Structure 1
Amino acid sequence: MKLDLQFFAQQMHAKDTVSASLAECFVTIEGNRYNFMQAINLEAKFEKNKTEVPILGKTGKGNKATGWKGSGSATFHYNTSIFRELLVRFKENGEDVYFDIQVTNEDPTSSVGRQTIILKDCNLDGGILTKFDADAEYLDEDIDFTFEDFEMPEKFNILAGMQ
Structure 2
Amino acid sequence: MAGFFKAGDAISGQEGRAYATINGRVEELFYAKSIEARAEKNKSDFKALGRRGTQSKAIGWTGTGSMTIYYATPVFRQMMLDYIKTGKDTYFDLTVVNEDPNSSLGRQTVILRNVNLDSVIMAKLDVDAEFLDEDCDFTFDDVDMPDSFATPVLG
In the superposition, the TM-score normalised over structure 2's length comes to 0.96
Higher RCO, 1 vs 2 (CA within 8 Å, ≥6 residues apart): 2
Structure 2: any 5+ residue segments left out of the alignment?
none
* Matched residues, number: 155
The residue identity in structure 2 corresponding to 1:87 is M
Q: Deviations over 1:115-162 (max 9, x none)?
A: 01000000010110011112221111110000010100000001124x
Q: Deviations over 1:20-53 (max 9, x none)?
A: 1111000010000011000000100100000111
Match of 1:142 in 2: 135
Displacement after TM superposition at 1:111 (Å): 1.1
Match of 1:32 in 2: 25
Q: Does 1:61 align with 2:93?
A: no
Match of 1:107 in 2: 100
Trace 1:1-163 onto structure 2 (pairs within 5 A).
Answer: 6=1, 8=2, 10-161=3-154
Structure 2 Cα separation of the partners of residues 135 and 58 of structure 1:
58
Identity of aligned residues (%): 44
Displacement after TM superposition at 1:14 (Å): 0.7
RMSD: 1.2
Structure 2 Cα separation of the partners of residues 32 and 38 of structure 1:
17
Structure 1 moving runs of 4+ over 6 Å: none
Structure 2 Cα separation of the partners of residues 133 and 52 of structure 1:
46
Structure 1 Cα separation of the partners of residues 86 and 151 of structure 2:
48
In the superposition, the TM-score normalised over structure 1's length comes to 0.92
Structure 2 Cα separation of the partners of residues 136 and 86 of structure 1:
25
Q: Could you say which structure has the larger radius of gyration? A: 1
Displacement after TM superposition at 1:57 (Å): 2.2
Partner SS for 2:84: helix
